[in-house]
């Protein structure tokens, strides 16, 4: 992601209207969830069976494709195979079963689609969106007022970016999600380095509903990128033709704005404005940072972060969800945080630009109001059919009032 070091000072007064913006959420039913299981993957079958049993899910559709749990090559699926092997069976099931708002994929189902009408063509010249985000937007082409963003920026610091993404119709919404009203689906996946790790996401989600996280939400600002104006971030709208990545100070400002909301709500938080990359934190309830894009990043500090059941996170790292298999080198991986107890996360399979990062303000406002983690991440994310992946049990809602 390109650094834009604009010298904007943090000049806003406290802006707390967002702390009461999100409408009262309601408890979501397991009957609103569709689980997708890959019959060719023993890992997928085991995780799906575990989730169905724990959440008492009745809607399950079986697909057959390469097993992405075996090797990194299998984590990418050709677009024609995606449409035939994943999307069509899911469409067929949905055509016969109404009332579904959430779709859960399982480890063993590929994370990336090569080709298609949306996604970033930054590397090979071929759009490569996340499979999850394509599935989330699979009916958008039939919605009359659905719009697309056009990414067009040769030689930008974030790469020679070309591609399209659907404008998420649930972006910044202040009500519970429904497919009937907004179109699309809230897609998440149960994934991680291991089968057990993926299953643990559900165990942690259920545990948090009985004992909500009490630790701090860590917001690790990097002042080298400037602070920005928290009253102006997140920006309510952006141009549909994007020729440059958002200035990096905007993400810092969004974290500062989120801190104001958490303070008003009485949620413990740590807004770190120092240059040092923060580590050695335990029982975290939430985490936003620059990850390995932080100019003072230290891997031991990143690996020293540990999380409480019900925790939620996103990092401004372009390829933090590029794989869910053990690997060496490259940018920091969300899977490392999942292995340290993180319950819900958002990541990116390919360069998304900073505009695609979820808004800390919107996500944390919704989540701590009682919305599910899936509603919170999607409300805080601008694009569908892009590079985004949401990880965890979509029904996880530790702050929902009983």
227 and 373 in a single domain? The answer is yes
105 and 222 in a single domain? The answer is no
pLDDT, position 159: 60
pLDDT, position 123: 65
Residue 104 has pLDDT above 80, yes or no: yes
Residue 89 within a domain: yes
Task: Answer for the pair 229, 255: CB distance below 8 angstroms, yes or no.
Answer: no
Q: What is the pLDDT of residues 44-83, one digit of tens each?
A: 999 999 999 999 999 999 999 999 999 999 999 999 999 9
334 and 386 in a single domain? The answer is yes
Domain end point (choices 190, 222, 239): 190
d(C-alpha 105, C-alpha 109), whole Å: 7
Higher-confidence residue of 244 and 283: namely 283
Q: What is the pLDDT of residues 382-398, one digit of tens each?
A: 999 999 999 999 999 99
Residue 381 within a domain: yes
Residue 402 within a domain: no
Q: What is the pLDDT of residues 218-277, one digit of tens each?
A: 999 999 999 999 999 999 999 999 998 999 999 999 999 999 999 999 999 999 999 999
pLDDT, position 368: 97
* Half-sphere exposure (Cβ direction) of 379: Cα atoms closer than 13 Å: 27
Tell me the DSSP string of 293-352. Answer: GSTT--HHHHHT--EEEEEEEEE--TTTTS-SS---SSS--HHHHHHTT--EEEEESS--
Domain end point (choices 190, 223, 240): 190
pTM score, two decimals? 0.94
44 and 142 in a single domain? The answer is yes
Show the domain range for 244: 17-24+213-390
Domain end point (choices 175, 190, 205): 190
217 and 138 in a single domain? The answer is no
Residue 196 within a domain: no
Residue 18 has pLDDT above 60, yes or no: no
pLDDT grade, residue 22 (50/70/90)? low
Residue 198 within a domain: no
Per-position b or e across 183-197, b if 16+ CB within 10 A of its CB: bbbbbbbbbbbbbeb
39 and 163 in a single domain? The answer is yes
When pLDDT is averaged across residues 198-212 and rounded to a whole number, the result is 97
224 and 167 in a single domain? The answer is no
Higher-confidence residue of 154 and 257: namely 257
122 and 73 in a single domain? The answer is yes
pLDDT grade, residue 12 (50/70/90)? very low
Q: What total of structural domains would you count in the chain?
A: 2
pLDDT, position 116: 85
278 and 180 in a single domain? The answer is no
112 and 249 in a single domain? The answer is no
Q: What is the pLDDT of residues 315-339, one digit of tens each?
A: 999 999 999 999 999 999 999 999 9
137 and 232 in a single domain? The answer is no
- What dihedral angle (degrees, nearest 10) is formed by the CA atoms of 16, 19, 23, 29? 160
Chain-wide mean pLDDT for the chain? Answer: 93
Residue 154 within a domain: yes
When pLDDT is averaged across residues 354-375 and rounded to a whole number, the result is 98
pLDDT grade, residue 122 (50/70/90)? confident
User: Token pair of 290, please?
Assistant: 């620059």
Percent of the chain, pLDDT > 90?
Answer: 89
Residue 7 within a domain: no
Which residue, among 277, 314, 303, 325, has the nearest Cα to 112 in the 3D structure? 325
d(C-alpha 110, C-alpha 102), whole Å: 18
d(C-alpha 128, C-alpha 112), whole Å: 6
Residue 396 within a domain: no
164 and 64 in a single domain? The answer is yes
């Amino acid at each position: 992601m390109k650094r834009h070091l604009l010298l904007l000072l943090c000049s806003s007064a406290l802006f707390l209207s967002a702390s009461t913006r999100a409408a009262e959420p309601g408890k979501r039913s397991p009957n609103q969830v569709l689980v997708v299981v890959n019959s060719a993957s023993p890992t997928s079958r085991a995780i799906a069976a575990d989730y169905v049993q724990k959440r008492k899910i009745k809607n399950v559709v079986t697909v057959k494709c390469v097993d992405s749990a075996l090797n990194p090559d299998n984590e990418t699926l050709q677009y024609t195979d995606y449409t035939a092997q994943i999307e069509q069976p899911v469409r067929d099931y949905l055509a016969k079963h109404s009332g579904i708002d959430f779709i859960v994929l399982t480890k063993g189902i590929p994370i990336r689609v090569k080709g298609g009408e949306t996604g970033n063509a930054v590397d090979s010249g071929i759009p490569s969106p996340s499979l999850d985000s394509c599935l989330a937007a699979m009916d958008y082409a039939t919605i009359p007022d659905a719009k697309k963003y056009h990414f067009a920026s040769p030689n930008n610091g974030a790469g020679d970016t070309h591609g399209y993404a659907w404008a998420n119709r649930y972006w910044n919404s202040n009500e519970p999600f429904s497919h009937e009203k907004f179109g699309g689906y809230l897609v998440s996946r149960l994934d991680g380095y291991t089968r057990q790790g993926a299953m643990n996401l559900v165990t942690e989600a259920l545990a948090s509903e009985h004992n909500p996280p009490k630790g701090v939400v860590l917001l690790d600002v990097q002042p080298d990128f400037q602070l920005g104006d928290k009253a102006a971030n997140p920006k309510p709208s952006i141009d549909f033709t994007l020729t440059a990545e958002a200035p990096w100070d905007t993400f810092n400002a969004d974290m500062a704005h989120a801190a104001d909301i958490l303070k008003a709500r009485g949620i413990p938080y740590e807004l770190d404005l120092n240059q040092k990359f923060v580590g050695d934190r335990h029982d975290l309830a939430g985490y936003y940072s620059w990850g390995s894009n932080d100019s003072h990043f230290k891997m031991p500090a990143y690996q020293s972060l540990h999380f409480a059941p019900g925790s939620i996170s996103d990092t401004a790292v372009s390829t933090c969800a590029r794989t869910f298999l053990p690997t060496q080198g490259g940018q920091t991986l969300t899977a490392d945080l999942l292995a340290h107890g993180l319950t819900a996360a958002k990541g990116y399979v390919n360069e998304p630009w900073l505009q695609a990062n979820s808004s800390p303000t919107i996500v944390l406002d919704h989540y701590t109001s009682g919305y599910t983690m899936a509603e919170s991440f999607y409300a805080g994310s601008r694009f569908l059919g892009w590079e985004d992946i949401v990880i965890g049990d979509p029904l996880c809602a530790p702050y929902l009032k009983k």
